[in-house]
Structure 1
Amino acid sequence: MEEFEIMSSQKKTVEELLKEGESLLKMGRYEEAIKCFDRVLEIDPENAHAWLDRGIAFRELGRNEEARRCFNKVLEIEVDPKDAEGWIVRGRALGNLERYEEELECYNKALEIDPRNADAWFYKGITFQDLERYEEA
């Protein structure tokens, strides 16, 4: 039972840190956001969402090589084939690497799992714009 409680508290801590980091990212406090995502990755080094958001923060700071490394790390993490959110995170990483066709494939996989997933539809539309396929956006 004690092991379960430790795992639950770590998971909760990861979720809280992710939310805090995302809030800091939205406020433009990129260095602080990176520190939050680093703490998440100390606990869960395979957390694709933390790697993605860390990359976005680096990109916003103009630290493009560090951003690219983060986005590539997302691609190294195996996606659960039944997890729509995992496909969306992977797609967003691919988009940040300007690999738009592969990005679309990820959103399509997410939509096969969850046809009503608003995030997948949103990012798919953005990707069509990036590809200048406006009629499909």
Structure 2
Amino acid sequence: MTDREGDRDHRFSEGEGFDDSYDEFDLDPPELDVDPSKVDPVDSRVVTDTLDTHNIASDEVDAGELLDVGLNYMRINRYEQATDAFERTAQFADDDRLEQEAWVNKGVAHAELEEWDEAIGAHREALSIDDESEHAATAETNLAYALWEFGETAQALEHAERAVEIDERFAQGWFNRAFFLSERGLNEEALHCIDNAVRLGMHNAKVLEEKARILEDLGEYDEAEEIADEANEMRERAEQRLMEQRQEMHGQSGTTAGGEADREWELE
């Protein structure tokens, strides 16, 4: 394993359930029967207090709605509250698939907090439910990254390989496997993996930058430069779109009396 000091900005898979857009941020699903006048919307104890087993019966909780609460916490970078919401989701879920999704997302939230031991534990819990399900590949690749950050590099590659064995069309899994292989100097295999990720639709600046680095390590300097230029152009276009969106939002907020522009809670 090469020295990871100054390593690249690598983002692991974010788990199932992050692709959907949410029109609003609602801490109080109807099923929880909470009086909103008594709840501070940024109170970190909201989920715990409202779902304490002494205060509410499990059959009165919609675990799916609670999962959405956790995802919305993730959207506004309140990861500690998200971990609590996801743990409660797993506690109240009566469906294995939902429970597994909650554990996967809990692992992601812990990873955002760089709590690698807790992230590893959450992903292992997810895999203990079903190691062949639709969420298993995501759990495996996230577990791989958490293990790598925790210093368990050999295990990390094993789980990255397991992710694509479970789902050979899992683009993020191929990308993560490429990352771990390149870190071990196995660049030809890494290039094959990252090409798979691109073929499966994972085509963005981050992926192209990683491919350019692998090509450079293989001595393919001309192709590496070409790919790096494409990545830079893609990143510049994305930054330009973001700037235009911010300007548009600023213009909307300027015409709204006493309020803010509408926002869509949509994960990148």
Q: TM-score range by the shorter chain?
A: 0.7 to 0.9
Give structure 2 stretches of 5+ with no counterpart: 1-93, 183-188, 217-223, 229-268
Q: Deviations over 1:88-137 (max 9, x none)?
A: 222322321223211232222222xxxxxxx5413233222343314313
> CA offset at residue 64 of structure 1?
1.1
Which letter maps to 2:143? R
- Corresponding residue for residue 194 of structure 2: 104
Instruction: Choose from 160, 167, 171 the match for 1:87.
Output: 171
Pick closer, same or farther for the CA change 1:17–1:120 going to 2, 3 Å: farther
Q: Deviations over 1:20-44 (max 9, x none)?
A: 1011112110010001000110112
Matches within 5 A, 1:118-133: 120-121=203-204, 122-132=206-216, 133=224
**Conserved 8 A contact 1:17-1:37:** yes
Give structure 1 stretches of 5+ with no counterpart: 1-7, 81-85, 112-118
Matched, 1:136 2:227: yes
TM-score, normalised to structure 1, is 0.74
Matches within 5 A, 1:51-66: 51-66=140-155
Pick closer, same or farther for the CA change 1:134–1:23 going to 2, 3 Å: farther
Higher percent of residues as helix: 1
> CA offset at residue 56 of structure 1?
0.8
Matches within 5 A, 1:29-68: 29-46=115-132, 47-68=136-157
**Conserved 8 A contact 1:94-1:100:** yes
- Corresponding residue for residue 244 of structure 2: none
Instruction: Choose from 146, 149, 163 the match for 1:74.
Output: 163
- Corresponding residue for residue 234 of structure 2: none
- Corresponding residue for residue 24 of structure 1: 110
Inter-partner Cα distance in structure 2 for 1:78 and 1:43: 17
Pick closer, same or farther for the CA change 1:136–1:30 going to 2, 3 Å: same
Inter-partner Cα distance in structure 1 for 2:203 and 2:123: 23
Identity %: 19
Bigger radius of gyration: 2
How many pairs are equivalent?
119
TM-score, normalised to structure 2, is 0.40
